Amino acid sequence: MELSLILMALCAMLAYWYLKIHFEVFERNGIPGPKPAFLLGNIIEMMKKGQLQAIRDWRKTYGTVFGYFEGFTPVLSVSDPDVVREVLVKDFANFQARKPFPLAPRKSLGLFLENGHQWRRSRSLLSPAFSTSKLRQMTNVMEQQVDKLLQNLGKQQGKGNFFDIYREFQSLTLDVIGRCAFGLHTNAQMDVSDEFLNNIQSLFRNMSTTLILPIVMLFPFVQYFIFAIKNVVLAIGMNPVSWLRRRLIDVIRIRREIGNDGSVTDLMQQMLFHSKKHQQMSDREIVAQSLTFLLAGYETTSAVLAFHCHVLAQNPEAQIRLRKEIKQLGQERISYQSIQKLPYLDMVFDEVCRLYPTASLIVTRQAAAARTYGHVHIPAGMNVQVDVWGLHHDSKFWNQPQKFMPERFSAENKSKIRPYTFIPFGAGPRNCIGSRFAMLETKIAVARIIRDYELKSAKDQQEDLALLCRGAIVPKDGVHVKLIQTRNAKAG
C-alpha cells in the first residue's frame, strides 16, 4: 500500500515537472507572449475573444513574434516578413509539414494536411487541374452559374429590401466548385433545400459551435477517441461528413464506369485517370482530396465575395470607378479574356484580400529541426503560425492600414510593397493550389454585379464587420446590402 502511494506521488511529481517544463518552452527560448495557465494554456482568452481577436491583441502587446498555447499545444505566431520568408520559402525543407488541425486526422483533409512524399505526390498530381488551359475551360461553367446568381439578385433587387448577399454567394460557390471540380450537378442557387448545400452548411455550423474543439485543444490525446466515436457516427449516417463522403464515393463509382473520357478535364478526372508515371490514388485518397477542395472552394471564395460587396458598399466612389472600367468593355462578355482588361478590378481584389485575409489562421508550418533566424529561435517540433492578419494591417508596411485604398496595388505602387507583407494565399511551395481558380471566379462575379447594380450598405452594418473563425475567416452575421439597378444593365 505504501509502495503504491509512493509510486502515485512520484508519478504526480513527474507529471507536474513535465507540464511545467512544457509550458515554459517560450520563456526558456526568450520568446514573449501571454502567460499560460497551468493545463489550460491561453484557451480561456481565446474562447472569450475569439482566436483572431486574441492574436491581434497579443501582437499589439508582444510584437511580431510571440508564443501562445492553443490549450496544450504551443504555437509561435510570426509576422516578421524576414522570418516568414525563411519559414515559407527559403528553409521550406525544414518546414514542409503543417501544424496539426485538432479535429481532423491527416488522411481526412487530403493535400491540406499531407506531409512529405505523400504531399509532394498529391501536389504534383493535382496541379495540372488548375493550369491556364483548364481555367479557360472552367470559365464557361463559372459564367453559367453567375448567370443564375444575377437572376437571384434581380429578384432581391425587385423586392427593394436589404438582404444577406453572403448567403447567395455560398450557393454560387458550391455550384461552381461542384461542377468545375467533380461534375456534381448541385442546384444550390435555385433550390434552397439542395442536399449538398444543407449538409455543408450544417458541417460549418457545427464547427463554429462545437465544444469538442476546446476539449481537444486542452487534451490532444482525446482526439483519437473522438475520431473513433466519429467513425461510429459516420457509419450510421448521423454526420454531414458521412453524407458528403457517400455522395463523393458515388461520383467516383460513376466516373470509373464511364471511363477516361478525353472531353472531361476536371479535378476528378485528373485524380482518376492521371498519367501512369504517378502512383494511382486510392478511392479513400480521392474522397479526402475531393472533400478538401469542395469545402475550401465553398467557404473561402464565398467569404471573399461577401467581403468585396461589404467594402464596395462602404466605398461608393470605388464602385463608380470600377463600374466605369467595366462599362468600357462595351458589348464584350465578362469572361476569362475580358477580366484581364480590368486593372482596377485587380487592385480592388488585392486590397480586399489585404483587409480581409480569409486564410489568416491556416498558414501554418511545423519545424522538423531547430532553427535560429536573428533573435528568433524556433525549437524542433514547434508549430509556427504566420500571422497574415498582422502582416496585412501593420502600419510599418502599410499607410493607414485600416483604410480601403486600392491604389496601393497599382502598377506604380505594387513593386514598392515589401516582400512577404502581402500573402493572402500563403507563399512558397505550399501556397494555395486553387488561388487562380478563386481569383477568376471572384472577379467574374464581382464584375457582373457591379456592372448591373449599385451596392448600398445597410445603415446598421458597421464598417468593421464582426468576424467568425472556423478555419477560414468569414462574416459572422453576413453582409447585408440593397441593390439598385444601374442604367443600361443587362444580362450576360
Residue 10 lies inside a defined structural domain of this protein? no
Question: Is 14 inside a domain boundary?
Answer: no
Dihedral angle, C-alpha 418, 421, 426, 430, nearest 10 °:
50
Distance of alpha carbon 384 from alpha carbon 391, whole angstroms: 15
- Smallest Cα–Cα separation from 286: which of 260, 233, 257, 250? 250
> Residue 167 is part of which domain span?
72-99+113-485
Rounded to whole angstroms, the Cα distance separating 248 from 272 reads 13
Task: Give the model's pLDDT for residue 237.
Answer: 45
Q: Which residue has the cell 492521371?
A: 274
Q: Who has greater pLDDT, 145 or 231?
A: 145
Taking residues 91-112, what's their average pLDDT? 76
Residue 70 parent element (H or E): strand 65-70
CA–CA distance, 152 with 129 (Å, rounded to integer): 30
For residue 428, which of 114, 77, 116, 96 has the smallest C-alpha distance? 96
Amino acid in position 327: K
Number of structural domains the chain divides into = 1
Would 410 be classed as within a structural domain?
A: yes
Q: Does residue 95 fall inside a structural domain?
A: yes
Quickly count: other Cβ atoms within 10 Å of residue 380's Cβ.
11
Higher pLDDT, 276 or 147: 147
pLDDT at 222 over 70: no
Q: Return the percentage of the chain with pLDDT > 90, whole number.
A: 53
Is residue 67 a part of any domain in this protein?
no
The overall average pLDDT reported for the chain is 86
Q: Does the pLDDT at position 62 exceed 50?
A: yes
CA-to-CA distance for 58 and 64, rounded, in angstroms?
9
Instruction: Judge residue 361's burial from the number of C-beta atoms within 10 Å of its C-beta, 0-12 exposed, 13-18 middle, 19 or more buried.
Output: buried
Kindly report the pTM of this predicted structure: 0.90
CA distance 328 to 63: 46
Give the tens place of pLDDT for each residue, 199-210. Answer: 888 877 766 555
The pLDDT value given to residue 363: 93
Neighbours of 185 (CB within 10 A): 9
DSSP letters of 317-385? HHHHHHHHHHHTTTT---SHHHHTT-HHHHHHHHHHHHH--TTTTT-EEE-SS-EEETTEEE-TT-EEE
Cα(165)–Cα(162) distance, integer angstroms: 9
Most confident of 284-288, 372-376, 388-392: 388-392
What integer pLDDT is reported at residue 212 of this predicted model?
A: 52
Question: What whole-number percentage of the chain has pLDDT above 70?
Answer: 88
- For residue 454, the cross-strand partners are 484
316: part of which helix (H) or strand (E)?
helix 316-327
Q: What is the CATH number of the domain that holds 258?
A: 1.10.630.10
Q: Name residues whose C-beta falls within 8 Å of residue 257's C-beta, 6 or more positions apart in sequence.
A: none
Q: How far is CA 338 from the centre of its chain?
A: 27
Q: What does the alpha-carbon distance between residue 221 and residue 71 come to, in Å, rounded to a whole number?
A: 12
- Relative to beta strand 472-475, strand 383-386 is unpaired
Pairing label, strands 73-78, 65-70: antiparallel
d(CA 377, CA 64): 14
Determine the Cα angle at 439 with ends 183 and 401, to 5°.
Answer: 150
Report d(CA 228, CA 233) in Å as an integer.
Answer: 9
Q: Is 11 inside a domain boundary? A: no
Cell (9 digits) for 15: 507529471
User: Which DSSP category does 408 fall into?
Assistant: G
Tell me whether strands 364-366 and 467-470 are parallel, antiparallel or unpaired: unpaired
Render pLDDT for 395-447 as a digit per residue (tens, 0 to 9).
999 999 999 999 999 999 999 999 999 999 999 999 999 999 999 999 999 99
165-182 vs 435-452: helix axis angle to the nearest 10? 130
CA distance 175 to 185: 7
Spatial distance between the Cα atoms of 386 and 302, rounded to a whole number of angstroms = 23
Residues 148-168: pLDDT tens digits? 999 999 999 999 899 999 999
In a domain, 107, yes or no: no
171 within domain boundaries? yes
**Is pLDDT at 231 greater than 80 in this prediction?**
no
Cell (9 digits) for 428: 512558397
Ramachandran angles phi, psi of 245, nearest 5°: -65, -40
| Residue that has been written with the C-alpha cell 514598392 in this structure | 416
Running DSSP on this structure, what letter comes out for residue 458? Answer: -
